[in-house]
Amino acid sequence: MILLYHFLYFFATCQYLEYNTNMKTKLLIEQHFHGAFGVNFNDCTVDDILYLSKELTKYGIGGIFPTLATDTVENIKNQINKIKQAAQMQTSGMAKIFGVHLEGIFLNPEKKGIHDEKLFLKPTIENYKLIEDDFIKILTYAPEFDENFALAKYLLTKDVKIQAGHCTGGDLSYCDGATHLFNAMSGIVQRGTSTALTALTDDSIYTEIIADGVHISDSIIRLIFKAKPIDKILLISDCLPITKSNLKEMEFEGETIYFDGEKATSKDGTLAGSTKLLPDIIKRLGLMGLFTPQLIENTYTYHNIDLTGGIEWDEHFNIVEVDL
């Protein structure tokens, strides 16, 4: 009987210890992604957006900034309106839509990535007003084309985060952040300036990173974590509609995108975006010994927003429970 008691006490203690190795964090906020579950923000319906925002909560994602890639002015305006409608129709149990991330149209053709350069516009106040909407909360653009930073100065009064991306300019004076650091931008140079160098060394600039093991190497990830203050790193997925779907190919930015099970590329091998959601990326960082809950909290601070609820993770960085 005594042995049985000790065994039960030991078992209960082990269970308690195992439970307490679990980690609790805030809900995830995705500030840069183009869709998932087959839903593409550039051509979806309001119902599609509502469906996606509900599915995302299963993965601990409680807030989103739907990201629009380069498109016609007309379609950008149409899709912003649909996203706004969906935001007004959301119910509990859905990832809250905080606004639109406009990644396309004001980019540098030299760093276009998968974007359609035929639709690019010069980043001027006049051109921005063609698509201007108070629901645009993040703008990715090429600062080197913004003469005297006129557009950036205009946006300072509009509650829009300005991010350098798909660009070559090294002067990020008016930028709040850098879009997917090292991807589609001029890299580190030993003389002069570049987008990546400024973003990496200026402690006032937030830097998005896609730590999916495809967009940047693990060595570059470690470099970022050594160079940047931990509270200035923003985890993003930049994931495509093909993510968490049965699709093996899809149309995106006027090209056919092929998914080989690891990465999604155009026919010529250009990376089109990620195929992992944020919890998959957090698991990679956790297993690398780089994850800290601060990385989740940074997006809250960057946008000055808050959400109730949280996530419980096990010791292997799998989601155990999501509390909305």
Which residues, at least 6 apart from 120, have a Cβ–Cβ distance to it below 8 Å? 70, 105, 106, 107, 109, 112
Output the pLDDT for position 18: 44
Q: What is the pLDDT of residue 7?
A: 43
pLDDT at 21: 78
CA distance 194 to 136: 27
pLDDT of 4 reads 45
Q: What residues in the chain have per-residue pLDDT under 50?
A: 1-19
With a CB cutoff of 8 Å and minimum separation 6, the contacts of 231 are 294, 298, 301
> What local confidence, expressed as pLDDT, does residue 15 receive?
43
Question: What is the value of pTM for the model shown?
Answer: 0.93
Distance between CA 253 and CA 185 in Å, rounded?
Answer: 19
Mind listing the domains of the chain with CATH numbers? Answer: 26-323 (3.20.20.140)
pLDDT at 20: 52
Cα 115 vs. chain centroid, distance in angstroms? 17
Beta-carbon neighbour count of residue 256 at 10 Å?
Answer: 11
pLDDT of res. 258 = 97
